[in-house]
A and B are shown apart, each in its own frame.
Chain A
Amino acid sequence: MKSNIRSENDFDVLELSGEIDLHYSPELRELILGSLKGGKALLIDMSDVGYIDSSAIASLVEGFQTAKSTNLEYGLLSISHPALQVLTLTRLDQVFSLYDNVEQFQSQF
């Protein structure tokens, strides 16, 4: 996994790439929770992500729950096909807010 976080005016964008498994999900968790602590909405760009395992999904879920409890927007951007397959298997494609582009996400607030 590689990651990069950048700040827009009223939200952070976390760009992820590569495979995310047990070895990287703790780092993913830190990145997500760290960003949310700043009190800004978070958009996670998953267009370049390969296979993700359920520990990565668990980190995404925990982030979503944290965002909800602090009333912050939280979205997944352009999920790659392999990652979407895993989300679908776990029925979480219906739980997360999925966006095709940044503008779509921005229009939420």
Chain B
Amino acid sequence: MDTATTNAIEIRDLVVDFGSRRILENISFDIHQGEIMVIMGGSGAGKSTLLRCLLGLKAPTSGHIHMLGTDICHATKTDLYKMREKMGVAFQGGALFTSMSVAENIQLPLREHTNLDENTIQIMTRIKLDMVNMLPHENLMPSELSGGMTKRAALARAIIMDPKLLFFDEPSAGLDPITSAELDELIIKLKKSMKMTIVVVTHELESVFAIADRIAILGDRELIQIGTPHEIKASCDKRVIDLLNRTPRESIVDSDAHLKRLTRNAQS
């Protein structure tokens, strides 16, 4: 078997602006086939924006993204559609269709992209529901789900087509530790058994170090550092150290300054 590293995704000189605001500047890195790449960075650092670019949902201002050999920034609609069949996506916020049950939500990609027999679709749906421990809840509507159930349903939908590439924005944010550990375990199993390349955006340090093969850290519009968990832990970059230590912001508040901030526009 070929053991040389091949790149599932190549990002080159990526620049992203929203209007006149530059969000990402000259981002370049590779994501290897079969690895779990965790993208970290403070809130607003541009992690979700980077994911949207990788998915072809946001055109970068300049730069290139090659995914499984296809230049997705300059791909035709047909090529993009073909790429999407190989990608599974679970977005920040879940985004299940509210008018459909959990099972119907999960089946949707199969109905859109394949002509599989109805029995096959039903069994595939149940296999995936079982993988995320949601089989007992297949007939619930999205409004009846807890936060953790919503994430698990979104993951089941993301993997229904056995994608080569899985993108997951904030899988464990806001979940209890057990649910979050279960999701981590499942993500690792998907990599090992299904040979998926997985890109995860998360803030949860425990998850990061449980699942990551490599970590890319965004900040100040740039890629601050990329490396193995070991390398990231040993980083000397203050921004990386701060992110990992997560020092709570100003624990001692300068009361005068803070009072001024809060009352800046108030009339006295």
Contacts and interface: CB of A to CB of B under 8 A. Distances in A.
A88 B124 CA distance: 15
Contact of A54 (B115, B124, B189, B195): B124
B116 A25 contact: yes
Interface residues of A, number: 21
Interface string A20-51: 01100110010000000000000000000001
Given A22-B114, A26-B116, A86 B127 contact: no
- Between A29, A58, A91, A92, the greatest number of chain B beta carbons within 10 A of the residue's beta carbon is seen for A58
A105 B253 CA distance: 74
Contact of A22 (B116, B127, B131): B116
B130 A25 contact: no
Interface string B153-169: 00000000110000000
A62 interface: yes
B216 to A, nearest CB: 27
A55 B161 CA distance: 8
Interface residues of B, number: 21
Contacts of B162: 21-22, 53-55
B120 A58 contact: yes
B99 interface: no
B120 A55 contact: yes
A70 interface: no
Interface in A73-99: 85-86, 88-92
Interface of A: 21-22, 25-26, 29, 51, 53-55, 57-59, 61-62, 85-86, 88-92
Closest 4 CB pairs of A and B: A58-B123, A89-B193, A53-B162, A85-B193
30 contacts: A22-B161, A22-B162, A25-B116, A25-B120, A26-B115, A26-B120, A51-B195, A53-B162, A54-B124, A54-B128, A54-B162, A55-B114, A55-B116, A55-B120, A55-B162, A57-B127, A59-B120, A61-B123, A61-B127, A62-B120, A62-B123, A85-B192, A86-B193, A86-B194, A88-B193, A89-B131, A89-B190, A89-B193, A90-B131, A91-B130
Given A29-B120, A54-B128, A55-B120, 7 more contacts: A55-B114, A55-B162, A58-B120, A61-B123, A62-B120, A85-B193, A86-B194
